[in-house]
Structures are given as C-alpha cells and as structure tokens.
Structure 1
Amino acid sequence: MGEIAGRDQQIANQMDTGAWSRDMMSNCCAGGAVALARSQGPEADFQTFVAADPEAFVFQDEEGNNLLHMLVENMHCANCIRSIEKALKSLDGVLDARVNFSTRRLLVRWQAGSGAAADLVRPVIDLGYFLTPYNPEMMRSAAAEEEKKLLRALGVAGFAATNVMLLSVAVWAGLFSEDMGPATRDLMHWFSALIALPAVAYAGQPFFRSALAALKNGRLNMDVPISLAVVLASGMSLSETIQSGEYAYFDASVTLLFFLLIGRYLDMRARGKARSAAERLLLLKAVAATVVLPDGSHKSIPVEAVTPGTIVHVPAGERIPVDGEIIEGRTAVDNSLVTGESLPVEAAKGDAVFAGTLNLNGAVRLRAIKTGDNTLLSDIVRLMENAEQGRAKYVRIADRVAEYYAPAVHLLAAVTFVGWWILGFDWQVALIQAVAVLIITCPCALGLAVPVVQVVASGRLLQRGVLVKAADGLERLAKVDTVVFDKTGTLTEGRLDLINEESIDRADLDFAASIARNSKHPLALAVARRGRAVHAMADVTEHPGRGLSVVLKDGEVRLGSREWCGVPADFKDANDPQEGPELWFAQPGRQPIRFLFEDCLRHDAVETIAALKKAGLQVELLSGDRAPVAEKVAATIGIDDWQAGVKPEQKTARLEELKAAGRTVLMVGDGLNDAPALAMAHVSMSPSTAADVSQTAADFVFQGRGLGAVLEAVRVARFSHRLVIQNFGLAFLYNAIAVPLAIAGFVTPLFAAIAMSASSLVVCFNSMRLIERRKGETQ
C-alpha cells in the first residue's frame, strides 16, 4: 500500500504543479495548430508540423523500431492511399507504411536512427496531404469540419446554379425569337459569368486543391479529371462570352460542380455510417479518470496519466477508464463492447473489469492493472486496424486497376475530343464530349468496392464479439467447406463446474467453499463459486498436487485428491457413480464427500453445430481428451466425425489430409496447444479466453461464452464475398455502359456528374446491406 500511496501522491503533486496539464495542452494545441494551418501550402504545413514536435508522438515496438501514428486529411480515394504508402515505402529505413481507409490513420514503422519523424513524413506533406499527430479526440471534429466545408461549398454552388439557370433559360428562349439581340444575350452571359466564376472558384476548392497537389508531384488522382472538366467548361464559356459567341456553358459548369458536391457529401455521409469499428471504439475511451489519493480524496486526471497500481474510483453510469481489478464495491457491468453479449455481468471484489466497458449501477474502486495503450480496448483497436489496413486480394486488384485507370481516362477524353473534331464538329462540341468522358469515368466506385465492405463487415462482427485480425480473413473464411473443432475451451467453456451440488449438504458445501477460496486451482475455484455463506478461514495450508488442509479442534480437515484424503480406491459414491474430475472432502469422524466436476458445453453449441451443417459445412471434432469424454461430447452436439486422444502433430496431419482431399478448412481451437493446427488451416478462429487477445495465432478471435460467433462469422464472410463481387460487377457494368455513351455523345456533363456520383453511392449503400441484415439472414 505504501508503494501505491507514493505513486498516488506523485500524481497529486503533478496535478498541483500543473505539469501534466501543460504537456497535454501543448500536445493538443500543437495538433490543432497543424489542422488550422493546413491551407498555407506544403512548406508552411511542414514547418507547422515540425513545430508540433512530432518526436513526442514516436514510440517503439517490441523489436526496437520506431512507430508513428498520424491523421491524414484531404484523402478521398484508393489512389490517395496508394500514393501515400508508395512515397513512404520508397524511403531508406522505412519498414512499413499503411493508411487506414476509414479512420484516415497513417502508421509508419521505420528503423531506429534512420531519420527524424518530421523528415520522414515530409514527402506526404509535399504530396498535398495535411497531417496532424494522431489524437482520437480530434477524429470527430476533423470529420465535422470537413462536412461543414462541403456543405458551405454545396450551398454556394446550389445558389449560383439556380440563378445562372434562370439567366440561361432567358438566353435559350431568346435564341428562338427576334426579341433578344446579341447585346442582350452578351449581357446575360456576362451576368452569368459574374455569378458562376466566383462560385466555381470557391465551391471547387475541395477538388482543385487535391488535383493541384497531385499534379505538382507528377501523379493523378480522381480529382484531376473532375477539376479539369469544371475548368474546361468554365474557361470555354468565358472565351465564348468574350468573343460574343452564341453558346456559353456557365450553367453547365456550375451545375456540374453542384451535382459533384452532392455526390461527395452523400459519399462522405455514407462512409460515416459505415465508419470503422476501430474508430467508434476509440471514441468510447474515457477521457479522464478519478483517482483515490492517500488521504481518501478524489482527483480527476487524464486517463493517460494513470499508472498501473493506481486506485481508481468509478461512479455508476461512467465508463471504466483502465483495465483493473475491483477492490471495493459491487456493480453490474455492460461488457457488450468486449464480449458482444448484451446482458449485464455482475462484478464484485476480485473480479476483472476492462477499459471502455460501462459501470451500470454501483460505485466501485479498482486497482489499475493495464493503462493507456496496453488495455484490452486498445488491443482490440489495434487488431481491427491491422485487419483494415491490410491488403486483401480484392483490394490489391482494385488498387492495380485504379493505378492504370486515371491515365487511361485522360487518354480516352483526349481521343474523344480529337475524334469529334475530326468528324467535323465545332471544337466547343468536341470539348463538351471530352468533359463528359472525364467526369463519367472517374474510378470512385471501383476504389470503394472492397474497403467499404471490409469496414462494415468488421464492425458487424465486432458487435457480435468477433475480432477480425487478418486482412484477407473474410475472403478466406467465405470459401470454407469444412469446420474442425477442438473440444476443451472451444466446444466447452474450458471452465470446470460442480455438477453434483444437489447431492451435497449445503453446510458442507459452504464449509468446503470457505477452504477452497484460499487456492487458485481450477477445481478449488469451482467449489468456491458454489458457496453462499462463505467466510474467511485462517491457517489454511495448500499442498501442491494434493489439496488444502486446515486444523480445527476436532482434527484436520482435507479437501483434495482421493489418495491424499485417505479415501479407499474401491470406495464409491452411490449418489454419483459417473467418472470425471473430482475432489474429496474429508472431515474427522464423517464419511468423505465427493465433489464431481465437468467441463460444460457452451450453451449454444448444439444449435451452432446444427446450423453449420444446414449451411452445407462438414463438421469434425479433434480432441486430445479421452475417448469416452470426446464420444459423449460429439454425440451430444451432433458431430459424427470425431477423434480422441489426438496430439498437436496429429491434428496438423489430419488437416493436411483434408487439404489433400480438396477440402477448405476452418480450424476452431483454443490457441495454445492448437497453435500448429491454427497455422496449418486455411483460416482459423480462437476464443479469447484461451490466450491473450493480442497473442493468439488465429485469424479471428471470438469473445463471450457462446459459440454462435463462429456461425455469424461464416455467414458474414459469405455475404461479404457476394457483396464484393456485386460491387465489382456494378462498377464495371457502369463503366461498360456509361463510357461508350459518353464517347458517342449521348451523355452531357451534367448527366455524367449525376451518374458518377450515383455509381459511388450505389456501391456504398450496397455494402451497407450488411448493417441492415438481421441475424440469420446472411446465409
């Protein structure tokens, strides 16, 4: 307690001197300064980023390499991600660089001593992307700021389009009558120019800045053809107005921009609805923690300042800020964030609680065990982001197509312009058709085809207590036709329960539970859980490999193995003749009492196995347990193919046999002795109770006490696979129809803008069908 008190006093001193608050405020202000200065150009952005002291945000991984997390703004498509990653990976010393599609989080890993953080990320800033040191609290404000900018631009473009359209109607009506002369027509054109050109200059900034930054660095992105189309339409119209020409297209250029902004705004809202589960989890982290000081008073400090061993007070209704163990109080905790189960869990002294979970109805005090980035919530976030930032097969295909798509678009537009001009049409007409081609062939839908599905699927599975660890895990899981289960800790809960409680006198059970609470042995813990009137007992001695004993006035009382308790080998308990793990309770002058235990099946194991079979999957059981036990489990849950006494190497051999027979296997095991089999399988899942969530070898980790998460993962993976194929089909079908029509002159720039935006939205909304599907509909 003295150590804890000293640490608490140190925290109090820091609070009194304001040391921690200055550090935290300087970091937050630095990040805000970067965000506010981002419009001053690459050099100014770089200097501001340096002023934010990015070295303060660098930390090291287990191998001693430097890691830096940043938030990337002004990023709109897969081509942007590819450009950023390519620029960073080309630098000496950089081991890895990945951008998360949905959280906009950039992770850079490089060798220690190979360069400073500011110099390392300069190529990204030079590309025109604004960086801020990563702060989860800034994510929501950054998204809100971007949404406000788009709304302002949309409002300006809409106002200008409405007024210019009124003038255009008058001009077009006057062309077919003799009431409007050239002077009146020119005046209308000039009024249109005065309204349209400033509106285009303001409302087009989201596209123009991105396009200019890309062109300065010799690359193309989706905003280049859009900006080129808008500028060409506006420039041609101004040229016609100066030359007193009959045709000006100010209405087309500003309305084109209006529809493009509508599409981008709706696209951003759609992505927001499909926002990464990792981002939503980060927003659930507590900002502050109430620590208990040595004098019993409470102080509120930033959660980052809490250290292991600190005593934390958590009032009812607040989120738990750290991983810890309750030392005082009793409450109910909403663990749905961690386990996917909606029912509250009772928690009392000695129980573990986790950061991000909700304390429902009672104030508790807990001792912090894991804090900051070491909590279970942070582990889950890292797993989710690693999966989302990875490059699955379909993502790589989309990236490769998008890489060559942008140059092909510009070449096709140039060919369209030349073709129409050669055919004898005016250059204005040829240019308008080229503009239509530039707009309608934008590869937005193709770039969104896979990432949106990945993000939505990961979020849905997280709600069901399943963590996706492998980037291509969903793709591989969708193809499985065979599921192989381990028994202990997988089909069963891996926790022994007392099964003959009804045949034991309550007073004897409470007496044994009072003794058993002094041991951490699984059988002793199972007895202790069944006690009601349990009281503390002194002088209880634990004998390793034998049991527990306590000396009372009547003699020695023992709780342990048959031999140690002196029970004859031929002695049978008439009430419980069955075999299984057991403890014996021997009291002086009384007949020994047998405690019988069993590793209980997960409550939904029978239903899950039946549903997997109904889905067309072959199910097998490979258990290292004894044959009678494995046979009983297999018969109970309906598995026909089972093997008992199987060693780890025999499990991998069986998986190799299945693979040679053309089967695609999902291995579900506990992640400890099943690690070789998990690695051998086509795809693997593991319960989180088997090992630390960040260390299991499986591609998926499911939480909670139910087995239904396995079935849900298979269903979501299959449905996700269908959605990806549909999205690719929609994107290619759109281009196959729209591009020839645009080249042939059947598509105007306005219709092209509507069609391009619509294609992106169709892909996003098709992907979000995963959110709307209820359980059981994703078969």
Structure 2
Amino acid sequence: MQADIDFSHYLKSTGAGLIHLDLAVEGVNCAGCMAKIERNLSTIPDVTSARVNLTDSRLALEWKAGALDPALFVSRLAELGYKAYPFERNDAETQEARRAQGLLRRLGVAAFAAMNVMMLSVPVWSGNVSDMLPEQRDFFHWLSALIVLPAAAYSAQPFFSSALSALRARGVNMDVPISIGILLALATSVIETVNHAEHAYFDAAIMLIAFLLAGRFLDQNMRRRTRAFAGNLAALKAETATKFVSPTEIKTVPAAAIRPGDIVLLRPGERCAVDGNVIEGRSEVDQSLITGETLPTMAASGSAVFAGTVIRSGTLRVRASAASGGTLLDEISRLLDHALQARSRYLRLAERASRLYAPVVHATALLTMLGWLAYGASFHNSIVTAIAVLIITCPCALGLAIPAVQTVASGALFGSGVLLNAGDAIERIAEIDRVIFDKTGTLTLPELDVANLADIPDDVVKLAGRLALSSRHPVAAAVARKAGAASPLADIQEEPGQGVHGFHEGRPIRLGRPSFCGADDLANEILCRDPEASVVAFSHGESRYAFAVRQRLRPDAAEVIAALTRMGIAVEIVSGDREPAVRHAARMLGAHEWRAEVSPVDKIDRIEELARQGCKVLMVGDGLNDAPALAAAHASMSPVTATHMSQAVADAVFLGERLTPVVVAVKVSRKALRLMRQNLWLAVVYNVLAVPIAIAGLVTPLIAAAAMSGSSVIVMLNALRARARETV
C-alpha cells in the first residue's frame, strides 16, 4: 500500500481556469533561496506563477487547471533541498493581512499628500511676511485643498469608521477626538480659504492623519507578523493522517478531514492525529506529550489512543471516535477555556483608559473655546485655538508609545529565536518572578540520544547503526543517528514489536528488544544504573551489546536555570513524568524545587497557589497536558516542537535546541517594559507642557501638528533602543 498526500483540501480555484496552492516551505533563509525556488518552479510547463514570501516562508503557486499533480511541486522542492507542506491560511490571518495592507495604502496616500502640501505651504509662509498678493495665497490654499480633501477622505477612514461605531454604541473611544480634530481642521481651512484668510491648516490635518496611520500600521503589522509566524509553524508540522479509503487503499489527508468512524493507519515513528480505539495491531505508544510520562505504554486491540501520541513499534489500525465530553482532549480543552477567561481582564483595563481619554480631550477643547469667548475673543479665534488644543492633545505619541516598542522588541526577539504570539506578551513576560519548567520535551530535547556510546566499540556502533536504518522505531533511529549511518544492510526483515534481523558476513545479526537479542543481563545492568533509559540490544553472532537510549537534556539547560536564578527568578520543575526521571533531571540542572507525576489539574493548582502568594509565573511547556497550565500562568512559552494547542496558547514560541531564548525573552521584555513606561511618561510630560501653551492661544494648528509630530518622533527614537541584542 502506498500513501499519497490528498491536496484537494488545499486547492483553490481562481476563476480564470487556474488553480492556486499555498505551501509552507522549510529552509528558506535568504533572497537566493527565494530566487532559486521561483526560477526552478516557473520552468515547469503550465505553471503561471510561483512566488515566495521570504518573511513568512510561504510559496504561492498557480497553474492551469487539470494540467499538473500538486505532488510534483513538493517533490521538486525536495530535490532542491526544501521540505514543503500544504498550507491553509486561516480567516483571522487573512483579515489581519488585509487590514495591514489597507493601512499601508492609506499611509502612503497621506504621506504623499503631506509632502506636496508642505511644499505648497513654504511660499505661503514666506509670502505672509513679504509681498505675496492675496490672489496668489488663495491659489496655493485652493491647490492644497484639492490635494488634502480627497486624500483625507480616503486616508482617515479607519478613524472615522471607528469613531462612528463608538458613537452608534453610545460611547466614545480615542478615535472620536481624533476625528473631530481632523474634521474641524479641514472645515476651518476651507472656511478660511473661502474668506481669503492668511492661514489655512490643510498641512496640519494631513500631517496628523499620516502620523496617526503610521502608529496604527506599526501596531497592526506587529500583530499580523506574529500571527503569520505562528500559522506557518503549525503548517510545517503537517498534521495529517493516513486514512483507509478502501480496504486495501490508503491516502494521506489533513487531520481536519477525518470523521468519526474513519479508519486510520498508524506506523512506527508516526504521531497519531486522532482520538480513537485500536481495532487491529499491537504497539508501544509514547504518550509523553499527553501525560508527560516518558516510558511507553502498550496499545493493543480495544486500547484507546489519543492525538499527539507517538507509535513506537508495530502498526495499528485505529477507528476514529466521536468527540465526547469524557475524553482527555475535551477535559484539557475545558481547563484551557477556563484559564483563558482570566487573561482577558488585561485588555479591559486598557479599554477603560481609552474611554476616559476622549471625554477629557473634548472637555478641554470646549472649555478653551468658551473661555476665549468669555474673554472677548472672536468666534473665529476661539475655534482655531480649540482646534489647536485638539490637535496638540492628539494621542499620537501615546498611541505609538506601546506598539513602537513592541514592534522593535519583537524584531529583536525574533532575531534571538523567539516568536511572540500575543499582543501583551512582552509586558507580562517582563513582570514574572518565577519560572516553572515542564521536563519532557522542554528541558529535554524531543529526539532521543545514546548515553553509553563511549562503552561500545566504534565498529560495533557503525554496524548497529546500519542495521538500525531498516527500522522506523525512534529508539533505533537514535542509534542510527549517533552512528552516522548512511547505508542500510541488505536483506533485513522486521518483526513487529521485537526488532530487525538478518545475516551479515555469514552470521545472524539482530537489533531490538533485549530478549529478542539475548541480552537481558546487559539490559538489567543498564537499568539498575539508569532507570530512566530505554534499552535497545544488538547481537552479531555470539557478541552482545546494549545501547542506553534516553532523552537528552538541552545543552544549555543548566546554564539557563543558573542565569534565571542570578536574575532573582525562582525556578522549579513540575512534570507529569515519573519521580526518578524528574529527580535525576533536577539534580543534573541544579534545580532545588521539583514535582513529579503531576496531572494537568495539579499544574493549574500549583500556578494558582503561587499566584495567591503574589508570584507571577512564567510557564514553559510543550505537551498537550501543559496547555491549560500555559493558559493559566501569568506568561507562557513553548518550544517549536510543542503540540499545536500548546503553541496556540503560549505567549511566545522559541526555536532551536537551546533553552537560551527563555532568558533572552525575559531580558528583552524587561528592557522593553522600561522603554514603554518611559514613552508613556514622555507622552504625559509632552501634554503637561504643550496643552497649557495651546490653551493660552500661543500656537496655531500647524504648530500644534508639528509639536505632536515631534513628540511622536521622540517616542519612536526611544523605542529603537529595544533593538540591542541580549545574551545569557
């Protein structure tokens, strides 16, 4: 039986006789990779477009309908040295991308109009103090109006629509005073132009719009990029299932396409994509991502298996079950939903502050106008002064204070291998004072390692590695990897659940269970010294050897825990794994606090207990059983090898084998939080100094716009300080 990938779920018709497919491509790192892929795929007949997005590592393909098999593109990319998976953009990411593109277009229009109007304003400014004729000044004002009015009508739509929505809901937001300021400045400018006045404020209005759009785009772009990276990581993990489409035919389909009652095939080394019951076969199953337990359990006919488990030996046929309220996944999802509800309080606080800002600005501008009228000023001068107050108090610097730092800091974190997955992740990571690490897959690497390689002769290791290439068992794969084996032995057979065997140089050769190779005594010696290890035995004729295979600690785990401790952050290990395994890891890493055999509920209870004590916990985990704890913690991080649910819940995902990004994330976040507070104080000080001057009538709307723009530039320059790279 041969399994082919079913692309039908991912193909989209463009309506012009063309088919569109998006692929997530692994290993695209530079413009050279992009050009190489585009050039090679464009040479395939009937391909009309091949475009690589270097930022998101995605390939968009279009070709004539019915002309090509999509599998051709995956195989061609494999020949070029790139691994690719079908990718389906979710609705949220599509909407984010469209909003970001819309803001960028509006920003371009506003900036272009502002530059042209500023060029027209120069002769007006100089002419007002020289001998410019009124007719010439009116001409420049009307020309400015022709540029600004349509540009403002298009560019300011995000602020106008947001303000209208708030007013329809009988509320106000920060876009209400912004919209009023823009409309008053434009209306006053038109009236001034009609009345042949010396001053018009088209330049102030369009500059205001441009700077506000720049801040809005920075914030939107940061959110879009983090969502895109998270989506791409999910696609590269390629959650698919091998489904029986007939009693003898199988096909690889997206996990989302599996329905209750479907039968799927699970082979050694594969990760289960469904919940279900075994109907045929027998295999060891690694449930470490579900329960945290590193030792495999035996699954046979009638056994339940869960999505996320790894098949260690043998082949299973599993009937997918309907989701029911009592499954492990449902229980974890309920805990997850409950934990996520507590996090939304953070956002409500920010909304309350923005609602308070608008009425204060309105009241200040209104009182300014009434005060000047009472003082005896003309209505014209009073309304101009009120407009200056509205513009100078515009929350541009305040709006940029946080997103500017977030954008710069998220770029610095990405350069260090950390992808943010939440808008307020930086603030919460900066506040943590305790880190809880899961063990399996977090402090340890997902790939197995051979611990006693130095005790076995090199020629034996190489021969065992060649034999191990014939097995798909992950323990055998660890032996092959450590041996550097490249060519398998010929005429090797596999006995499911036992191992592989054959003949080499006229003598029988075996690799597998100790009992299968006659090496039980050697295996018992290893297990007495290292109860956490898995043992794979090797025999060649009368020679017997045993390989101790175990999960390897991340190379910098001890250094990271020491660095966190030096920073005044308490560290503990909370794992669902067995006590001997957790105790051994804690001793190796220098962690004094640890807990073993902990359930998902117990992890949440521990986090809540620490929260009651005033601790702010950073949870670092990777398994499905860690997802509720990740959501319940004050902040959370997951490795890129984590389950999709853990990645989706975590505030940040880190790349690579090293744990250093955890320390870097804390350092960068703390620095970014300091810069955010500085920016907020800069915005406050600016308003404290500028508002009284505007109320006193000492600035025009143009000067107010320039002052507002200057404060925004200062805030953005301060935000750039977050670019500095941090190390352990």
Provide the TM-score with structure 2 as the length reference.
Answer: 0.64
Match of 2:338 in 1: none
The 3 A distance-change label for structure 1 pair 455 and 4 is same
Q: Structure 1 residues 528 and 434, CA, compared in 2 at 3 Å: closer, same or farther? A: same
SS at structure 1 position matched to 2:638: strand
Q: Which residue of 1 aligns with 2:198?
A: 249
Residue 541 of structure 1 is aligned with which of 469, 489, 494?
494
- 3-state secondary structure, aligned to 1:449: helix
Once the 2 structures are TM-superposed, how far is the Cα of residue 625 of structure 1 from its aligned partner?
A: 4.7
Q: 2:122 aligns with which of 142, 153, 162?
A: 162
Q: Distance in 2 between matches of 1:476 and 1:462?
A: 17
1:196 aligned residue (141, 146, 155): 141
Pairing 1:52-131 to 2, within 5 Å after superposition: 100=96, 103=97, 105=99
Partner of 1:47 in structure 2? none
Q: Note the 1:348-747 alignment, pairs <5 A.
A: 396-403=348-355, 405-406=357-358, 408-529=360-481, 530-532=483-485, 534-544=487-497, 546-550=498-502, 554=506, 556-567=508-519, 569=521, 580-588=533-541, 590-625=542-577, 629-646=581-598, 648=600, 650-692=602-644, 697-747=649-699
Cα 1:603/1:695, change in 2 over 3 Å: closer
* Residue pair 2:499, 2:511 contacting (<8 A) in 1 also: yes
Change (3 A) 1:549 1:543: farther
State the number of aligned residues: 543
Gaps of 5+ in 1: 29-65, 72-98, 107-138, 172-186, 242-247, 286-306, 311-324, 326-389
1:477: how far off? 2.4
| 1:617, distance to aligned residue in structure 2 (A) | 0.2
Q: What SS does the corresponding residue of 1:598 show, helix, strand or coil? A: strand
> 2:678 is paired with a residue of what secondary structure?
helix
Deviation at 1:526, TM superposition (A): 0.8
Residue of structure 2 aligned with 1:774, choices 701, 714, 725: 725
Q: What is the CA-CA distance between 1:605 and the residue it aligns to?
A: 1.2
SS at match of 2:419: strand
2-side partners of 1:254 and 1:676: how far apart? 53
Read off the aligned partner of 2:470 and give its amino acid letter.
N
Say which is worse superposed, 638-647 or 428-437, in terms of deviation. Answer: 638-647
> Do the aligned partners of residues 280 and 463 (structure 1) sit closer, same or farther apart at CA in structure 2, a change above 3 Å counting?
farther
**Which of 18, 21, 28 lines up with 1:20 in the alignment?**
18
Name the amino acid aligned to 1:249: E
Shift of 1:525: 0.9
Q: How far apart are residue 268 of structure 1 and its match?
A: 7.9
Distance 1:440 1:516 in 2: 72
Match for 1:169: what amino acid?
Answer: V
How many angstroms does 1:163 deviate by? 1.6
Which residues of 2 match residues 103-252 of structure 1 at below 5 A? 103=97, 105=99, 139=101, 145-146=105-106, 148-170=108-130, 188-209=133-154, 210=156, 220=176, 222-236=178-192, 238-239=194-195, 241=196, 248-250=197-199
Instruction: Call closer, same or farther: CA 1:436–1:249 in 2, change over 3 Å.
Output: farther
Residues 293-349 of structure 1: CA deviation (Å, up to 9, x unaligned)? xxxxxxxxxxxxxx9799xxxxxxxxxxxxxx9xxxxxxxxxxxxxxxxxxxxxxxx
Residue identity opposite 2:626 in structure 1: D
Measured in 2, the distance between the counterparts of 1:276 and 1:67 equals 12
Q: Where do 1:310-329 residues align within 5 Å?
A: none
Moved more, 723-732 or 552-561: 552-561
Contact 1:439–1:752, Cα closer than 8 Å, also in 2: yes
Structure 2 distance, partners of 1:744, 1:416, is 8
Superposed displacement of residue 745, structure 1: 2.2
Aligned mate of 1:277, from 225, 233, 236: 225
Judged with a 3 Å threshold, the aligned counterparts in structure 2 of structure 1 residues 511 and 69 are, in CA distance, closer, same or farther, namely closer
- Judged with a 3 Å threshold, the aligned counterparts in structure 2 of structure 1 residues 480 and 595 are, in CA distance, closer, same or farther, namely same
2 CA distance for matches of 1:262 and 1:673?
47
TM-score when normalising by structure 1:
0.60
Please say if residues 582 and 595 of structure 2, whose CA atoms lie closer than 8 Å, have aligned partners that are also in contact: yes
Structure 2: state its 5+ residue gaps. Answer: 23-47, 49-88, 169-175, 234-250, 255-268, 270-341
How far is 1:678 from its partner? Answer: 3.4
**Secondary structure, in 3 states, of the residue corresponding to 2:543?**
coil
Identical-pair percentage: 35
**Alignment check: 8 A CA contact 1:153 1:203 kept:** yes
| CA displacement at 1:623 relative to structure 2 | 4.0
- 1:752-777 C-alpha deviation (Å, 9 max, x unpaired): 1111222333333433432x222249
- String of CA shifts for 1:519-561, please: whole Å, max 9, x gaps: 23221111121243632433412241x4333367856433223
Opposite residue 685 of structure 1, the aligned amino acid is M
Q: What amino acid maps onto 2:687 in structure 1?
A: N
Structure with larger RCO (C-alpha < 8 A, sep 6+): 2
**How far 1:603 sits from its partner (Å)?**
1.5
Secondary structure in structure 2 of the residue aligned to 1:674: helix
**Cα deviation 1:629-653 (Å, max 9, x = unaligned):** 4444333322222344555555444
- Measured after TM superposition, the shift of residue 144 of structure 1 is 6.6
Query: Does the 8 Å CA contact 1:581/1:596 hold for their aligned counterparts?
Result: yes
